Amino acid sequence: GTMVGSGDLGNYHVEIKGASLTTDYEGNPTVVITYAWTNNSDDTTTSLSSVHARAFQDGVQLENAIVMNEDAFDSSSYMKEVRPGTTIDVQNAFVLTSETSTIEVEIEELISFSDEKVRMDFGPTALS
């Protein structure tokens, strides 16, 4: 099932916190999605190896963006090892295909046999 905004994905809890606009290394409009990721498993792990975030516009998946501006995007957050019971903020960046279409964000467990996902939509006016 689909959970809006936050929910449990297997041994992990995610809460989509927001979206902000920046540009990628080529100057293309880019959205940075921030979500809180909690490791409720018994093992120290990374969000990269546990959940997968995707974004869509007009029904088409967006490409991951390369953002050089460290103030706008923490590119290492999803690779940080996190102990059980700990929450960190994770960011993913995607190149926009439109500056007016709604951005649909979906986060799923990386290896899962369920259809559980956490979803949130960001209209153009919701971006800071």
Q: What are the pLDDT digits (tens) for 9-55?
A: 999 999 999 999 999 999 999 999 999 999 999 999 999 999 999 99
Instruction: Report pLDDT for 29.
Output: 95
Does position 93 have pLDDT exceeding 60, yes or no?
Answer: yes
Cβ(34)–Cβ(41) below 8 Å: no
Helix (H, G, I), strand (E, B) or coil at 124: helix
- DSSP class of residue 82 equals B
Query: How distant is the alpha carbon of residue 63 from its chain centre?
Result: 13
Phi, psi of 86 (to 5 degrees): -105, 145
Amino acid at 103: I
Q: The pTM is what?
A: 0.93
Instruction: Report pLDDT for 112.
Output: 82
